[in-house]
Amino acid sequence: MQATKDTFLKTLAARLATVNPARTVTLDGVTRPAVVAVENETPVPAETVLEAFLLSWQGAEYVTAETGLMFLDCKVSYASKGTDAMMRADRGRTVTAMAAELRQIVHSRFAAKCDYTQTPPAALGTNIFWTLPAMAPESDKDGVLEQTATIRVFFFPEVG
């Protein structure tokens, strides 16, 4: 299951680097594309990581036990407080731009599953694939405009 999560993360990050190279985040002194797996990072309040795609995973389930096909739901959150601290006038534009970027980076809805615990990553011989994002309504929390989307990621579990 970890290979599925890592493959999805790495795929979206690589695509974001192409779609909008300026959308980066600096965590632990490292600047990289702004796609962050919350479970892999030193705990930081989500409010401090703005204008980045934060990925959180929900439990895995079988589609049908007979096929072995499983799925994980990935919640993608992103938010902005705008560039003008007083007016916050452009936060809606930023969240809208990020929604468009999300739609672009998930467009080809599959990737070859790899084991990223080794260098170079090793292909595992199967693909992961996913649904289009199901967008939730925007919410405003203390001047921060937030959007979430859920993407269902399908995979066959690693053997061994």
Share of the chain above pLDDT 70, in %: 93
Cα–Cα distance, 63 to 105 (Å, whole number): 25
pLDDT at residue 90, as a whole number: 85
Domains of the chain: 2-155 (3.30.2000.30)
Cis peptide before 133 (omega within 30 of 0): no
Distance separating alpha carbons of residues 94 and 145, to the nearest angstrom = 9
Q: pTM of the prediction?
A: 0.92
Q: pLDDT per residue over 83-138, tens digit each?
A: 776 566 789 999 999 999 999 999 999 999 999 999 999 999 999 999 999 999 99
Pairing mode of beta strands 30-33, 35-37:
unpaired
Q: How far apart are CA 121 and CA 114, in angstroms?
A: 6
Angle value at C-alpha 150, between 89 and 141, nearest 5 degrees: 35
For position 85, what pLDDT does the model report?
Answer: 62
Across the range 142-150, mean pLDDT stands at 93
DSSP state letters, 50-83? -SSEEEEE---EES-TTT--EEEEEEEEEEE--S
Cβ contact 128:73 at 8 Å: no
Q: What is the mean pLDDT of residues 19-32?
A: 94
